[in-house]
Amino acid sequence: MAQCQASLDGLFLALSDPTRRAVLARLGEGPASVSELARPFDMALPSFLKHVRLLEATGFIRTRKAGRVRTATLRPEAFAAAEGWLAAQRALWEARTDRLELFVTRKPEGDPS
């Protein structure tokens, strides 16, 4: 359980940053070199590489180096853990709101109206 929680913490930490979310969105269109991914951001390449390393460590992306070019690829299966947690939370809260609706709309016993 603790390992699963740590994994989720890492996933949501990776998703918490707008730069990393933008990188993931861009990689949704297909593989790209790290320099291509860094181009829209106003930061030094070493700073950008920290984002890439975190995304790689959490399993969202895979990189490979060919010569001097490092190419990143999205790993869609890494989103499964976050999707599973969110689905469980959604089911929990929908059940709670369903019970609340039932409580609010139920007529009290002995109420003639």
Q: What is the distance of C-alpha 14 from the center of its chain?
A: 7
Which secondary structure element, helix H or strand E, spans residue 71, and what is its range? strand 69-74
Task: Determine the Cα–Cα distance for residues 64 and 20; give it in Å rounded to an integer.
Answer: 18
Domains detected in the chain: 2-105 (1.10.10.10)
User: pLDDT of 32-77, one tens digit each?
Assistant: 999 999 999 999 999 999 999 999 999 999 999 999 999 999 998 8
User: pLDDT of 9-29, one tens digit each?
Assistant: 888 889 999 999 999 999 999
Q: Strands (DSSP E) along 26-68, which ranges?
A: 32-33, 61-66
pTM of the model: 0.73
Task: Indicate the residue type of 21.
Answer: R
